[in-house]
Chains A and B, each alone.
Chain A
C-alpha cells in the first residue's frame, strides 16, 4: 500500500466529529486558510494515527487536529468553518 493510501476522508470520522459540533459534520463548509478553496468537511482527507489530522482536499494544509482522550476530546480547527442554520427572525441580534 502506498503512503498516500493511508488516509480516508471526513466521512469516515463524522460520528466522532458530530460529538464536537453537535450537528451533522460532513456538510459543514470550510474555507482553507492557505489556499482559500471552499469544500465540505466530508471531502477533506483524514489521516488517523495517534490522533486525527484532516487536510484540505485542494492544497493539503491542515484543517483540523483532534485527539480523543479517555475523558475528553482535544481539537484545533484551522480555516473558516460554516454551517447553515434555520433563518433567524429579521432584526434578531446574536447575544
Chain B
C-alpha cells in the first residue's frame, strides 16, 4: 500500500468497544467503513462538532496493527481537555466518531524496513510503538526488537499484560518508572539516562532503526542522549506529543 496516494477524507467510524488500559487511558476500538489501511506509526485526526458548529480536532496515534480489521486508538484523558474527556468517558459503543487518516509516513515502520528495532516511548508515546510491535507479531517476524517504556508509575504503563507476553516472545522490554516505584521494584527508576541506553544496547554500531515518541521534553532528552552516544541525528525518528489541550 502506498499511503502517499490515499486521499485524506473525513469518515464516520463507529465505536465497537472500549478497552480501559490504565486509570487515565482508554483504547477505542473502531469500525471504519472503507478504511484504506495504515502503516504502523501513523495517526488519525479526530474531529468533534458541537451543536453550535464549533469544532475541535486532535491527533491520535493508531495502536492497532495494520493487519487488524478494526482500528484502535489509545487516548490519554486530559482532565481539562476539550476532546479526550468526551472520547474516554462519554462515547459509547455504537456511537459515531468522525476521523480522517491515516496520516504520516515519516514515523512509520514496516516489516520490509528490517531491524534491529530500538523503540523508546514516554507515557502515551508507547502507542505508535505498540502498533509496530503488533505488526511484528502479526507478521511472525523475528526482527530483533528492544523497547524502553518510561512511565510515571507501574499503574500508568499501557498494555502491561501484552508487554509481558512480548517479553516472553523475544522482545527485550525494559521499564523506567519516573515518579513512583512499587515495593520490590527491580526495574529502572527516574529519567532515561546514558547508562540505561548502554544497557539496552543502544550503541550506534548496531545500526538499529530508532524511534522515539512521547512528550516533547522526553523526546528531546532521549534524542540528545542518543546523539551523545554517537547516533546520527538524521537516523533517529522522533514524534512529539505536545501540550495540545487534549
Q: Are A24 and B217 in contact (CB under 8 A)?
A: no
A41 to B106, CA, bound (A): 8
Q: Judge if A15 is at the interface, Cβ distance under 8 Å.
A: yes
Contact for B59 among A15, A24, A41, A57, CB less than 8 A: A15
Binary B-proximity of A15-32 (CB < 8 A = 1, otherwise 0):
100110001101100000
Q: A9-B238, A39-B234 are in contact. Are A18 and B103 (CB under 8 A)?
A: yes
| Chain B nearest Cβ from A77, distance in angstroms | 18
Q: Are A15 and B8 in contact (CB under 8 A)?
A: yes
Q: How many A-B residue pairs have CB under 8 A?
A: 84
CA A27 to CA B103, docked complex, whole Å: 11
- State A18–B9 Cα separation when bound (angstroms): 11
Distance (Å) between the CB of B219 and the closest chain A CB? Answer: 8
| C-alpha gap A43/B219 in the complex (Å) | 11
Report B92-105 CB contacts with A as 1/0, cut-off 8 Å.
00000000110111
B4 partner, pick from A1, A19, A24, beta carbons under 8 A:
A24
Residues in chain A near residue B215, CB distance under 8 A:
5
Number of interface residues of A (CB under 8 A): 28
Per the 8 Å Cβ criterion, residues 4-54 of B in contact with A are: 4, 8, 43, 45
| Interchain nearest-CB distance for A44 vs B (Å) | 10
Nearest to B213 among chain A residues (CB) is A11
The tally of residues in B whose CB lies under 8 Å from a CB in A reads 28
For B104, give its contact among A39, A42, A46 (CB under 8 Å). Answer: A42
The contact string, 1 if C-beta is below 8 Å from chain A, for chain B 69-107, is 000000000000000000000000000000011011111
* Residues of chain A from 1 to 18 with CB closer than 8 A to chain B in the complex: 1-2, 4-12, 14-15, 18
A-chain residues with CB within 8 Å of residue B4 when the two chains form the complex: 23-24, 27
Given the complex of chains A and B, what is the CA–CA distance between A58 and B238 in angstroms? Answer: 14
Is A79's CB within 8 Å of the partner chain B? no
Which one of B8, B106, B244 has the greatest number of beta carbons of chain A within 10 Å?
B106
Task: Give A6 to B243 CA distance when docked, in angstroms.
Answer: 7
Q: Which residues in A have their C-beta under 8 angstroms from that of B104?
A: 11, 14, 24, 26, 42
Chain B residues lying within 8 Å of A4, measured Cβ to Cβ, are: 216-217, 220
CB distance from B38 to the nearest CB of A (A): 12
Q: How far is the CA of A65 from the CA of B234 in the complex (A)?
A: 23
Instruction: Assess the A15–B103 pair: CB atoms within 8 A.
Output: yes
Bits for A64-88, please: 1 = Cβ < 8 Å to B, else 0: 0000000000000000000000000
* 7 shortest interchain CB distances as A-B pairs: A42-B106, A8-B242, A26-B106, A15-B45, A27-B105, A24-B105, A8-B240
